Structure 1
Amino acid sequence: MQRFCFLLCLLGTFLSYGQANTEVYLFDLDMDTKGAPLSNPKNISNNHGYDNQPSFWDDDTVLFSSTRAEQTDILRFNINQGSTSSWMTNTPTGSEYSPLRIPGKDNISAIRLDLDGLQRLYEYDIKTGESEPISDLKIGYHVWYNDHILVSTVLVADRMDLAVIDLDDGSHRIVHKNVGRSLHKIPGSDLVSFISKGSSKNQLWEIKSLDVTDDKIDTILTLVNPMEDMVWLPNGALLIPNDNRISLYNPKTGDTKDFQFFDREQVFKISRMAVNPSGTRLALVTEISPMEIVQRQVDTFNKRDLDGFVSCYTDDVLAQRFPNDTMYVGKPKMLANYERFYTNTKNAKVEVIKRIAIGNKVIDEEITMVDGRQGHQVALYTIEGGLITSMTYIFPDQETSDAEAVVQEQLDAYNARDIDAFMDTYSDHISLNNFPNQVTSKGKTDMRVRYDSFFESTPNLHCKIKNRMVIGNKVIDEEQVTVNDSVVHAVAIYEVENGKIAKVTFLR
């Protein structure tokens, strides 16, 4: 058992930078179609690591930041030249971000973060690769108003302020404090849009417009939920992403409607977006899906590809026993474990026999084979920014033959709304929890009051099991629950002791 435990403890580790694991997708955009306006998706980065901040050089060329050899350079994707890619920068002393074409030139501007921490905006000659600084300000993001005026965010303490920079006379002025990263020229106007984050934590964010000629600022839209990114269409409509969907806002009418909804396996969480000048193509950035990164770490582990395997994890990755008993923290510890493990074993494989995905979590039931010895485990992965931040392992520590039968009995009673039969499956000291270990109810009396009222007020109640894992005294159910007119998805981890359910942990 210790050998199998050690194998699972190892599932995690290295990335040399703290950036998200993202990809850039390109879509055809058709506003006149009766179907989905975005079609023909193509992953134009296809690179494990950071790929972000797309912009269009012209209708048929996309620029974006992409990681290679532990640095981030600017990549050019040519749509009409056989969908080929070519590097535009190669700066060993730093990394480039947020590429934009400079008006009136065949050069680009990009933020460069040098290894010594210096951050400035540079101009790059795309033919020679030579660069020179545009401004000495510590610029975070920028947009060209014309060939000599920039609207940019300037880093000030723990926030970004909006600045107008005149390159002809070298002047700059702050026009708004505490803004977001999304800066755009508004089509058909001389205005620039930005997101104001307000002066307090409780203040709603707003999309605003700036008139550079007189610094007049107006509100376009108040955001109910904070959003960092948006993009304008040539017709003056605004696209706003939220996780795996995009909404369209019409400033002329004030109407908002659904624009596009994506399957989470293709587009999990949208951030940056860009539209080409003629409005026929859209590029967006998405975090890779939790299931994709989890499968990648399984595949690379089985190939004994240590570098590829550890690149699936964050620097502060946490390994723990269920529910929250820490085993170790951080890449250095995990890397040492993995190197020792591979040295001491000739053959090690993990086979995923069942998988559940809910939100940013993936639960795998796995069979392990280490030098001919078989093990059984469940691994619960938490993913943020396209990388695994924690693994929680469940081992068959307490073998019992009645765990699944008891859980099924309570499910049948639940669907029948039979409160007596339902409560009879639970121990007197039943504990209900939210993952990992937040107690929401303790004891049978409190639980009965809650569920008795729930059953009475919910005539249309049914729980369907979409997936079930059984390991030792634990049963893990992926549940689809119909509650009157609503459908709720959840995962419940049941722990059975002495023939009764003693603890339930929910993931939603």
Structure 2
Amino acid sequence: MKPVLSLCIYFFTLISFCQSNTDIFLFDLVSINNSIKVTNGTNISNNEGYDNQPSFLNEDRILYSSTRNGQTDIAQYFSNYKSKVWINFTEGSEYSPLKIPNRNEVSAVRLDKDGKQRLYRYNLSNGESSELIQDLVVAYYTWLNEETIVSAVIEDQQLNLFVTNISAGTSRKYATKVGRSFHKIPNSNLVSFISKENENQWQIKSINPDTGVTKLIANTLEGVEDICWLNNKTILSGKGTKLYKLTLNKDNNWVEISDFSSLGITSITRMTVNPSIDKLAIAADFKTANDNTEATNQDEEQDHTGTTSTESNKEVTEIETIVQRNLDAYNARDIDSFMKDYADDIKLYAYPNTLQTEGKEAMRKGYKDWFDRVPDLRAFIKKRIVIGNKVIDEEQVTANGQIFNAVAIYEIENGKIFKVTFIQN
């Protein structure tokens, strides 16, 4: 029975997360001396279902796991453009996306449809993936550097801490009964983790991955295992609607710094800060406007178009959904699904205004031939901008063993794409 029990446990580890309706919120963060202010909270995911595990790719881009077409994939949010793209197209579900240090790649825990759960890397240039650690069922993790991973591995019906050297292909266990929060401690060669060996009081500990030496840092908030480091002295954590901080050697206990209940947030979980420490992203359970319209409306701020940020995000999501669905059909070479998103009088242009194809029938004929002749066809979105009714995609396309770059400008009306302009190098 043991293999069956283990299988059930690691299914539960990831799939159970999908039962909650979590969202990603982005805040401005100001930290001066021992004072921290968190303002201007915005729901950047605004998606029905599971949105969780945020991490910063760089100053302005946030990675997170998000529900799409019944599975969980890696989303990338551009805070400067207020737009989202998907960076992977596997049949499995991805969780805990992180930037791999010094590489143009991200990593994520993947749960495939056959039940296999492993840690993968994903190339940001073409979306291709490969397995990172073959023999361990990784549930949570972080990177010390581009060669060293500290992770929680499902083993003996619990989570145990392993340190893996990717180049050497070696893994070693250093601790048992750990939690899900792993973070490189800023300006150090240490990683923090949550120890659950004392069931009555969870603890934040550090580990030196080179030596395996562990040290106690502090106690967690009661029953809370999610933290992040603001710097090498200050830790953030959340419980319920409130955000707390603990500055080592200054604060005797956790200090409340903000209450997000007015935003509709009901329970804070994951959190992360950008490299400049002026942005905070959190994952949280969210009470919708239907649950508490008055409270939510009080916190909506107008953007430059005069609409609320919630309304603006909804419009972007609907337009982008059409284009993303169309791209998925393109990559699947499914001509029927692909053509459903186009208006009957669709016009295709070469930039700036050279008409190439007019009408749905002519377009279908051309693309049907293209799909039939190119078995390795794949378009990968490098960057996406949404402006009004236009979606502008910078694409990298693979066809017949060759790779080329292009820009596609989609224009949408009444739920259909009526014009596409291509710019190709």
Question: Partner letter of residue 114 of structure 2?
Answer: D
Q: Where does residue 278 of structure 1 map in the other structure?
A: 276
Inter-partner Cα distance in structure 1 for 2:106 and 2:16: 27
Asked if the contact 1:234–1:278 (Cα under 8 Å) also holds between the matched residues in 2, the reply is no
C-alpha deviation, 1:35, in angstroms: 8.9
CA contact (8 A) 2:201 2:219 kept: yes
Partners in 1 of 2:146 and 2:240 — Cα distance?
A: 35
The match for 1:29 is 29
Q: Provide closer, same or farther for how the CA distance between residues 262 and 35 of structure 1 changes in structure 2, counting only shifts above 3 A.
A: farther
Say whether the 8 Å CA contact 2:264–2:288 is kept in structure 1.
Answer: no
- Distance change in 2, residues 1:289/1:172 (3 Å): same
Partner of 2:94: 96
Preserved CA contact (<8 Å) 2:109 2:140 = yes
Secondary structure of the corresponding residue to residue 150 of structure 1: strand
The one-letter amino acid of 1:271's match is T
Residue 172 of structure 2 corresponds to: 173
CA distance in 1, matches of 2:76, 2:285: 20
**1:152-198 CA deviation, whole Å, 9 max, x = no partner?**
11001321100000111111111100100000011121110000011
Cα distance, 1:101–1:198 mapped onto 2, change above 3 Å: same
2:42 maps to which residue? 42
**Deviation string for 1:433-481 (max 9, x for gaps)?**
xxxxxxxxxxxxxxxxxxxxxxxxxxxxxxxxxxxxxxxxxxxxxxxxx
Letter in 2 for 1:128: N
Question: Does structure 2 retain, via aligned residues, the 8 Å contact 1:244–1:264?
Answer: no
Match of 1:211 in 2: 208
- Give 1:76's aligned amino acid: Q
Structure 1 stretches of 4+ with a deviation exceeding 6 A read 33-36
Alpha-carbon contact 1:265-1:291 (below 8 Å) kept = no
| Residue 289 of structure 1, CA deviation | 2.0
**Letter matched to residue 160 of structure 1:** L
Q: CA deviation at 1:223?
A: 3.0
State the AA in 2 paired with 1:188. Answer: N
Q: CA deviation at 1:236?
A: 2.5
Q: 1:252 to 1:75 in 2, by over 3 A?
A: same
After TM superposition, the structure 1 = structure 2 runs for residues 389-400 of structure 1, keeping only pairs within 5 Å, are none
Aligned counterparts of 2:34 and 2:213: Cα–Cα separation in 1: 39
Report how far residue 19 of structure 1 moved.
2.4
Task: For residue 145 of structure 2, give the secondary structure of its aligned residue in structure 1.
Answer: coil
When residues 132 and 220 of structure 1 are mapped into structure 2, their CA distance, relative to the original with a 3 A threshold, is: same
Structure 1 position 228, deviation (Å): 1.7
Q: Give the SS at the match of 2:67.
A: strand
Question: CA 1:17/1:233 → structure 2, altered by over 3 Å: closer, same or farther?
Answer: closer
CA distance in 2, matches of 1:36, 1:186: 19
Match of residue 141 from structure 1: 140
- Does structure 1 retain, via aligned residues, the 8 Å contact 2:58–2:274? yes
Secondary structure of 1:30's counterpart equals strand
The 5 A counterparts of 1:36-435 are 37-80=37-80, 82-91=81-90, 93-136=91-134, 137-198=136-197, 201=199, 203-223=200-220, 225-234=222-231, 236-255=233-252, 256-263=254-261, 265-289=263-287, 292=290
Given that 1:230 and 1:239 are in contact with CA atoms closer than 8 Å, whether structure 2 keeps it comes out as yes
CA–CA distance in structure 1, aligned partners of residues 152 and 214 of structure 2: 16
The answer on whether the counterparts of 1:149 and 1:166 sit within 8 Å (CA) in structure 2 is yes
Gaps of 5+ in 1: 1-14, 296-508
Q: SS of the counterpart of 1:151?
A: strand
- How far off its partner does 1:32 sit? 3.0
CA separation in 2, counterparts of 1:238 and 1:34? 12
Equivalent positions of 1:432-443 (< 5 A) are none
Deviating more after overlay: 32-41 vs 147-156: 32-41
Q: Which runs of 5+ in 2 are unaligned?
A: 1-14, 294-425
Give the aligned residue type for 1:248: K
SS state at 1:268 partner: strand
Q: What is the TM-score normalised by the length of structure 2?
A: 0.62
Residue deviations 1:102-126, cap 9 Å, x none? 1111110011000111000001011
Q: Which amino acid aligns with 2:75?
A: L
Q: Which amino acid aligns with 2:47?
A: N
The answer to whether the Cα contact below 8 Å between 1:236 and 1:251 also exists between their aligned partners in 2 is yes
C-alpha displacement of 1:213: 1.9
Counterpart-to-counterpart distance in 2, 1:192 and 1:130: 29
Offset at 1:292?
A: 4.4
In structure 1, C-alpha distance between the alignment counterparts of 2:17 and 2:35, rounded to whole Å: 40
TM-score, scaled to structure 1? 0.52
Larger C-alpha radius of gyration, 1 or 2? 1
Equivalence for 2:331: none
How far is 1:290 from its partner? 7.3
Quick one: percent identity of the two aligned structures?
A: 39
Q: Contact 1:182 / 1:194 at 8 angstroms: preserved in 2? A: yes
Aligned AA for 2:286?
I
How far 1:291 moved relative to its partner? 7.0
Tell me the amino acid that sits aligned with residue 270 of structure 1. I
Count of aligned positions: 277
Measure, in 2, the Cα distance between the counterparts of 1:19 and 1:268: 16
Q: Is the 8 A contact 2:160 2:178 kept in 1?
A: yes
2:364 is matched with none
Separation in structure 2 between the aligned mates of residue 279 and residue 246 of structure 1, nearest angstrom = 16
1:218-242 C-alpha deviation (Å, 9 max, x unpaired): 1111235121200100352000111
